[in-house]
Amino acid sequence: MRVLGMISGTSHDGIDVAVVDFDLAGGVLNGRVEHTATTPYPPELRARLVEALPPAPTTLAEVCVLDTLIGQSFAEAAAAAIEQAGPVDLVVSHGQTVFHWVDGAHALGTLQIGQPAWIAERTGAPVLSDVRIRDITAGGHGAPLVSVLDSLLLAGHPGSAAALNLGGIANMTVVRGLDELYAYDIGPANALVDAVVTSRGLSGRGFDEDGRIAASGRVDERLLEVLLDEPYYLLPAPKSTGKELFHLAYVEDALAKAGHSVSDADLVATLTELTVRTVARDVLAAGVDLLVVSGGGCRNPVLMKGLRDALSGVTVALSDDYGAPADDKEAIAFALIGWCTAHGLPGTVPAGTGARAARVLGTLTPGAGPLVLPAPIADRPRSLTLSR
């Protein structure tokens, strides 16, 4: 079954796509990654999206407009992928998260926009969307959903392993053997750095490319102390967070508490070190011997050096080594979730999200023809191998 997975993450800079051809044999799911690509949002759309995100006020009219424009952008990205890679049986669109409603230790709701009907109309393929909310209705956080991929990909590791995604938010899945797993959002990865870089015009690309700004600055220990004194870090897993908490105003409040001015370069260096400290602390507490990293943050040499220095007893590898290109892993994960839903299998691991039980995920929008699903499968695959 050929599935096209699509997502724009918490960095909201563009749409990642992955076409994966799945085949189940003897309890092992084999996925051939046939195509990956990233389509940046048009600058004017990204700017409009950023202006509407929390804590900024917005209107239902603006939400409707963005839902349409983002849906059309996803439709074009899907059509381009299908033109290059060939027809697919299913498109899975995560869409763009614009609000993740969390109250303390509980997720109460989540909103991803990017109307899937535009994708179905443009491509003629059925579309699975709204993949997070069913887990929340079952008491989970709806995140990190990538844990279903991590649990299968790391199932063969003989010790304790963790998969770390460094997107806007850092999330981690800890896997011990075949049956023990937990996952949660650690805190900001690129979110705060991106917010500062964008607001201060430090880079035309909206992020600290190759960690150059961080490398030119020094960590401000007083500001770092303020940033580390965040109640979220003390909450037990499972937990989830997002830009509803970690945004530009959050940085400005921390600067005010620190009580002194900080240069742009020092601010970026300090925010990068915040990610290093919070991630390293949790990885060490997990007691793993292997850390598999993915997401845009793994392309930041300052961040990665900081993690390797802090985790000297842990093997740090990229997800590329496990068949999942680091920049495309989340798109592959949503393709996997689509395959699971199509076969009547849950797309969550309850221990990864905190849900009462696993749930089949998503809402289906029919394509140009009748909606035909494959025969259900009774048992979840034991492991996953990815190849190109």
pLDDT one digit per residue (tens) for the chain, 388 residues: 999 999 998 778 899 999 999 999 999 999 999 999 999 999 999 999 989 998 889 999 999 999 999 999 999 999 999 999 999 999 999 999 999 999 888 899 999 999 999 999 999 999 999 999 999 999 999 999 999 999 999 988 888 999 999 999 999 999 986 568 999 999 999 999 999 999 999 987 789 999 999 999 999 999 999 999 999 999 999 999 998 999 999 999 999 999 999 999 999 999 999 999 999 999 999 999 999 999 999 999 999 999 999 999 999 999 999 989 998 999 999 999 999 999 999 999 898 999 999 999 999 999 999 999 999 999 999 999 999 8
C-alpha distances in Å from residue 222, one per residue of 6, 257, 281, 309, 363: 40, 9, 19, 22, 47
By the 10 Å C-beta count (0-12 exposed, 13-18 middle, 19+ buried), 55 is classed as: exposed
Q: Which residue has the tokens 């010790």?
A: 159
Joined tokens for residue 209 = 């490319």
Buried b (16+ CB within 10 A) or exposed e, 240-266: bbbbbbbbbebbeebbeebeeebeebb
Distance CA 345, CA 353 (A): 16
The backbone region for 12, taken as left when phi is positive above 0, alpha when psi lies in -120 to 50, beta otherwise, is left
Its pTM surpasses 0.85:
yes
Distance CA 296, CA 310 (A): 20
Biggest CA pair distance of the chain: 63
Q: How do 160-166 and 290-294 pair as beta strands?
A: parallel
Distance CA 85, CA 293 (A): 27
The backbone region for 355, taken as left when phi is positive above 0, alpha when psi lies in -120 to 50, beta otherwise, is beta
Joined tokens for residue 106 = 């509980």
Tell me the torsion sign for CA atoms 71, 73, 79, 82.
negative
Distance CA 248, CA 55 (A): 9
Strand order in the sheet with 160-166: 180-188, 169-176, 160-166, 290-294, 315-318
φ, ψ for residue 8, nearest 5 deg: -115, 120
- Sequential DSSP letters for 195-244: HHHHHTT--TTSS-GGGHHHHTS---HHHHHHHH--GGGGSPSS----TT
Contact (CB, 8 A) for 15 and 172: no
